[in-house]
Amino acid sequence: MAAIAGTGTGAEPATPLARRWVKLSGHHLGKGQILHSPSGAWHCGRGGGVMAAAVGMAALCRRLTAALRLSGARPGPTAAGLPGLTLNPLHKNLVKVEPVHQLKFLHTSLSRRGLEEFFDDPKNWGEKTVKSGDAWNIKQLRAKSSEDLHKLWYVLLKEKNMLLTLEQESKRQLKPMPSPERLEKVEKSMKNIDLVVKEREIALRLLQTGHEKPVPGEWRHDFLGRTYWYTYKEWPIPWYLNKKHKKRRFYYLRHVNHFIRLRLEKFLRRKARKQNLERTRRKVLERKFPHLAAKSQSQQ
Amino acid sequence: YPLFQLGGPQLRIFRPNFFMLAVRPGVPQPEDTVQFRVSMEMTKVDIKNYLEKIYDVPVAAVRTRIQYGANNKRNHKNQRVKKPDYKVAYVQLGQGQTFQFPNLFPEKEQDTETRAFDDFKDKYMEREKQRQKGDLRRGGVPDWFGL
């Protein structure tokens, strides 16, 4: 299967650990919305595949529809005969997966099954509001395995595409878009998934190599005296042959010290002003509500 | 993204963040052509792989163009406001499939609540217009005059 065949190219040292780690956390699958994947389908949270590296997403779709056929389709979102991968991405709304044998919910014709996923359930067309659950929290996502996060990412991506399509069409038809808050929820969930995956990658990298960042770098000065983290980039030629790069100055001259001091003063002044403001606000509150003063004193 | 040089490994992106939305074509397109707005960094090959792998749609050909968003509208400060640029992709489906952009806002029958509200709204607007016109018994003169 494509998923197994294409393990990440440059990641040979990483995969054994990744696989082991992912398998351990593999069994608690979602709160019912991500169907129990057929075992062994996804060895690692990552796989090969070109740009849209959904690692044989077609294969995944097929396997999930197979799972659906086996374990019975879910009522509700799949009712209108939408393709197998209609996992409701916003989870609170969801019904638990019950082994109901309702095969009529499966859309078996191959005609426009893929492109239908750019649009919502046909029942929701023309509605004023569409109900949706809450966005995914970071804490909830940390409890999921990498396979689940990977699948959830694509589910959310498709949902986002669908919502963007709806938004554009509503602008075209000069009608209000039903429930635009879904877009924000989806974007927040995707950002949270990204954060969780980054955390896990950093942890793995620290364990394996001892480095936190994926790309090495160093602290450098710029010609204005500021200090910043310079990440090394890949170049086809060395820096001493790069005329434009040689014009960049990674040092500053003596006359810049005056401006560094001014900048420092400005920063300190801002910080002091913010602290004073906070203190005065707290004093005002304590004067109005004396119980707060008593509580802060007891805390101290 | 890492630099690519001849003989190097294929770039693989896990969890791509590229959006793609289907749009209704402004100019009538042939039956098998679907029009998308895609993110600016996507290439024709990218779009083909995206649709084939994530949406399981057979793609025969992709053509792209970048639509320039105009910069000649002005805001209340007389600053120019730019409409964002976007990339349009015309995707021709394979295996003889066809696609018609659906009507996402069909007329739905209103329930009693909305109907009652609409009636109330119409009656209110009528009353306002009548007040503007003035009393017919006094010859259409507005209420400003007289007692």
Q: Which of A19, A63, A24 is nearest to A41 (CA)?
A: A63
| Mutation choice for A interface testing from B54, B62, B111 by most A CBs within 10 A | B54
The stretch A143-151 carries a mean pLDDT of 95
- Average pLDDT of A149-172? 96
Residue numbers in B near A119 (CB within 8 A):
22, 102, 104
Tell which wins on pLDDT, A14 or B137.
Answer: B137
- Give the total residue count for chain A: 300
Q: Mean per-residue pLDDT for A95-110?
A: 40
Is pLDDT of B58 > 60?
A: yes
Identify all chain B residues contacting A51, using CB atoms and an 8 Å cutoff. 11-13, 16, 45-46, 49-50
pLDDT for the residue A60: 53
Distance CA A141, CA A145 (A): 8
The predicted model gives A189-216 an average pLDDT of 96
**pTM of the predicted protein model:** 0.68
Alpha helix segments (H runs only) across A35-91: 57-71
| Residue A42: predicted pLDDT | 36
Instruction: Tell me which chain A residues have a C-beta less than 8 angstroms from the C-beta of B11.
Output: 51
d(CA A114, CA A203): 37
Q: Looking at residues B2-14, what average pLDDT do you find? A: 92
Name every chain B residue with its beta carbon within 8 A of the beta carbon of A161: 19-21
Among candidates A51, A127, A234 on the partner chain, residue whose Cβ is nearest the Cβ of B13: A51
Instruction: Please count the residues of chain B.
Output: 147
Closest Cα of chain A to B141: distance in Å?
A: 39
- The pLDDT value recorded for residue B129 is 87
Contact B99, B116 (CB under 8 A): no
Are residues A51 and B17, on separate chains, in Cβ contact within 8 Å? no
Domains of chain B listed by start with CATH number: 20-93 (3.30.70.330)
**Count of Cβ atoms closer than 10 Å to residue A215 Cβ:** 10
Across A92-106, A111-125, A237-251, B59-73, least confident range: A92-106
Summarize pLDDT for A61-95 with one digit per residue, the tens. 455 444 444 443 333 333 333 344 445 566 644 43
Specify the 3-state DSSP secondary structure of A24: helix
Q: Which residues of B touch A (CB under 8 A)?
A: 2-3, 5, 9-24, 34, 37, 45-46, 49-57, 97, 99, 102-108
Contact B15 A197 (CB under 8 A): yes
Alpha helices in chain B, H assignment, sequence order: 44-50, 112-133
- B51 vs A10: CB contact, 8 Å cut-off? no
Report the residue from B12, B19, B102 with minimal CB separation from A48. Answer: B12
**B16 vs A52: CB contact, 8 Å cut-off?**
yes
Mean pLDDT to the nearest integer, A143-163: 95
CA distances from A292 to A281, A287, A300 (A): 12, 9, 12
| HSE, side-chain direction, 13 A CA sphere, residue A231 | 8
